[in-house]
Chain A
Amino acid sequence: GAVVSQHPSWVICKSGTSVKIECRSLDFQATTMFWYRQFPKQSLMLMATSNEGSKATYEQGVEKDKFLINHASLTLSTLTVTSAHPEDSSFYICSARDRGNLYTGELFFGEGSRLTVL
């Protein structure tokens, strides 16, 4: 199946710094990518929908200035957590839909990136 890769898989940073997480579709093109946040023992919370060449669509309650999303190409979306604080520590997961496969409903997920803010 299609592969989505995230990098880094884990990162530790100091409070107040910014962290960038990359999400790449390795063998397909994705016009749409999704960013999720997963809290311990909880489900995935959709943060935003990343659209290639346009602004991301954020879910209610998600600060767009805090979580910057850029989808500059058909194979890459980035999430930047700006001025990170300990409460931003979480597991961030991206997913993508193969645009060549039109609507099948299936999403392909990255391995996730665990962020720890000290």
Chain B
Amino acid sequence: DQQVKQNSPSLSVQEGRISILNCDYTNSMFDYFLWYKKYPAEGPTFLISISSIKDKNEDGRFTVFLNKSAKHLSLHIVPSQPGDSAVYFCAASARTSYDKVIFGPGTSLSVIP
């Protein structure tokens, strides 16, 4: 009963192009969504988040879009850089238990120079 799904295990993108990472969730109680980035041999690091009261949040080259009716969110990276190559985790939580963050399985992004 995976509550947060990332159906693409991997993605390859050319440097300078847009990377789009997708995430779907099943629990309608989720109202806060996050993206974490993980390099090998390191722990995940927080990247960007979005509240359910918004449909878009932007931070530099990173933009997260939320479609609540479809229970879908996406992370856009523009332009993609080789240093963006990492595993990206989508995560979610509910206001009833914000400390209990549910992670998706991750998407491994490779940005090709």
Tell me if chain B binds chain A: no
Query: A residues touching B (Cβ–Cβ < 8 Å)?
Result: none
Query: B residues touching A (Cβ–Cβ < 8 Å)?
Result: none
